[in-house]
Amino acid sequence: MGTAKILVIDNEEGLCRMMEDVLADKGYIVRPFTDPVAAVDSFQPGVWDLVISDVKMPGMDGLEVLRRLRDLEEGLPIIMITAYATVDMSIQALRMGAYDMLTKPFEPDELVFRVENALDHTRLLEENRELKEELAQRADFSEIVGASVDLKDLLERVEKVAARNISVLITGESGTGKELIAKALHQNSPRHEKRFLAINCGSLPETVLESELFGYRKGAFTGAEKDKVGLLEAADGGTLFLDEVGNLPLKVQKTLLRFLQEREFQPIGDTQPIKVDVRIISATNAELKKDVESGAFREDLFYRLNVVTLDLPPLRERRNDIPLLAAHFIKEFNQKFEMNIAGLTPEAKEALLQFSWPGNIRQLRNVIEGAMAIVSGSYLDLETIGQLIDVPLEPGELEGEDGNYSDALAKFEIDYLQSLLLRFEGNVEEVAEAAGMNMATVYRKLKKYRIDTKGYR
């Protein structure tokens, strides 16, 4: 994003100057206005990365500023500040498109935190949009989120394999997005104008699964009162996705193998074979080779399905994608729940990065959805996330029986921060960089231990 440009609008000249000084100290380019009408008249889309506007101003109130600026540039993040925050006003502002609400009086570190979070959240969404545009120049991967090297390598293989009319086996842990990859294969193949149908082979009993796949004729068995078209016939010209293919019963495996060999099958109760043109994509979270060795899965079918294998990495191996995915899901559930959650606090983001994610992307999506259902503020914080997954404890919670451990840890943090403040003459940004911490975390610790940076300048 480069050096962010921030437009500040507040009729209180002193507060406007304070915000300008604080943000300029952090390296931002800031243009202050005490006249909201002049600010709106001079506004040009595409120039500013963030707007901060007071709500109660003469000449034009903040909500009108918000409405006009959002009309001019829909995706622009806008933080509203007010000394008269009410629930109704906050809801109205957020529904009109405000990114966040900041209540007066506020500390400089709170302003910096809100600004950084807004810019960071917007950057993540922009990175994902740019990635999708880059990929869209070659292929349609619009439903897949991520920018990690592993994912890019996988999508390059998907693009190559999609154009070839061969069977593909997708492997990976549960929740890694195997069906999304199957859909991407279909969407980027010559079959994309035909149907993509899917079935979970592990969720149905053998007789039901057989009739779903191959269909049946009226009178084939008790209850077959009319003909039923199976998925193979319904997907003619398109793609059939067999999820959890390792759970296919041996009888169904035999029938499927015949179809892959002859490109024809017989519905249950029929004597005439039906020829169809269907591409088979299958997926499994188990090691099918072991099932082949044990006799639970036919070896000849395995090799028919496994012309090409695409192995999806687990989320723990693509941690760089976690913030992108979280931002994507926050945006999704903001629309679903008509909310305006601004993002994650630094501590919550770090907890998501440190978690092992045994349920992968599906689990992350469920955690974000659950957190947004119970959150009470504008951000998903560590306390909210901690109700859904195990998160690292805060230093103050790591107490021994007599509290000595907590005291020792606090003393270490105080000494450490003070030594860095002396070294960098009170420059919190340099302290955070040297400590390897988020600047908002450093501010929080300085506030916790009542350390005033002025004494070090």
Q: Please, are residues 100 and 341 in contact by the beta-carbon 8 Å criterion?
A: no
Detail the DSSP E strand segments found in 252-332.
264-265, 274-275, 279-284, 308-311
For the stretch 236-247, pLDDT in tens is: 999 999 999 999
Place 86 in a pLDDT band, splitting at 50, 70 and 90.
low
Q: What is the pLDDT of residue 19?
A: 92
3-state class of 132 per DSSP?
helix
Place 380 in a pLDDT band, splitting at 50, 70 and 90.
very high
- Geometric angle at alpha carbon 320, from 440 and 109, rounded to 5°: 10
Helix (H) or strand (E) holding 126: helix 108-136
Q: What is the pLDDT of residue 401?
A: 40
pTM attached to this predicted model = 0.63
What is the DSSP-derived secondary structure letter of residue 114?
H
Task: Dig out the tokens for 323 from the structure.
Answer: 């913030």
Average pLDDT of the chain?
85
Mean pLDDT value across residues 383-402: 64
The answer, yes or no, to whether residue 139 has pLDDT greater than 70, is no
Q: Which of 59-68, 77-86, 123-132 has the lowest mean pLDDT?
A: 123-132
What is the DSSP-derived secondary structure letter of residue 396?
G
Q: Please, are residues 230 and 273 in contact by the beta-carbon 8 Å criterion?
A: no
Place 87 in a pLDDT band, splitting at 50, 70 and 90.
low
Distant-in-sequence, close-in-space partners of 440: CB < 8 Å, separation ≥ 6? 109, 112, 113, 116, 117, 345, 346
Domain with CATH 3.40.50.300 in the chain: 149-315
Mean pLDDT value across residues 143-153: 80
Q: What is the pLDDT of residue 140?
A: 57
For the stretch 302-357, pLDDT in tens is: 999 999 999 999 999 988 889 889 988 998 999 898 888 888 888 888 889 889 99
For the stretch 398-428, pLDDT in tens is: 333 444 555 666 777 787 888 888 888 888 8
Burial-class residue 26 by CB neighbours within 10 Å (0-12, 13-18, 19+).
middle
Q: Please, are residues 448 and 440 in contact by the beta-carbon 8 Å criterion?
A: no
From the candidate CATH numbers 3.10.20.740, 3.40.50.300, 3.30.460.10, 3.40.50.2300, the one assigned to the domain spanning 5-129: 3.40.50.2300
- With the C-alpha atoms ordered 364, 367, 373, 375, is the resulting torsion angle positive or negative? negative
Helix (H) or strand (E) holding 73: none
Mean pLDDT value across residues 374-383: 88
The answer, yes or no, to whether residue 85 has pLDDT greater than 70, is no
Domain 149-315: what homologous superfamily? Answer: P-loop containing nucleotide triphosphate hydrolases (3.40.50.300)
Domain with CATH 1.10.10 in the chain: 395-456
3-state class of 357 per DSSP?
coil
From the candidate CATH numbers 1.10.1040.10, 2.60.40.420, 1.10.8.60, 3.40.50.1370, the one assigned to the domain spanning 318-385: 1.10.8.60
Q: Which fold, 395-456?
A: Arc Repressor Mutant, subunit A (1.10.10)
Mean pLDDT value across residues 32-54: 92
- Geometric angle at alpha carbon 77, from 74 and 80, rounded to 5°: 115
Helix (H) or strand (E) holding 46: none
Distant-in-sequence, close-in-space partners of 155: CB < 8 Å, separation ≥ 6? 135, 139, 141, 144, 184
Q: What is the pLDDT of residue 403?
A: 47
Q: What is the pLDDT of residue 396?
A: 40
For the stretch 209-265, pLDDT in tens is: 989 999 888 887 877 788 888 999 999 999 999 999 999 999 999 999 999 999 999
Q: Please, are residues 167 and 182 in contact by the beta-carbon 8 Å criterion?
A: no
How would you list the strands of the sheet with 50-54, edge to edge? 29-33, 5-9, 50-54, 78-82, 100-103
Q: Please, are residues 29 and 49 in contact by the beta-carbon 8 Å criterion?
A: no
Strand pairing report for 264-265 and 274-275: antiparallel
Domain with CATH 3.40.50.2300 in the chain: 5-129
Q: How far is CA 411 from CA 56, 301, 408, 452, in A?
A: 44, 65, 5, 16
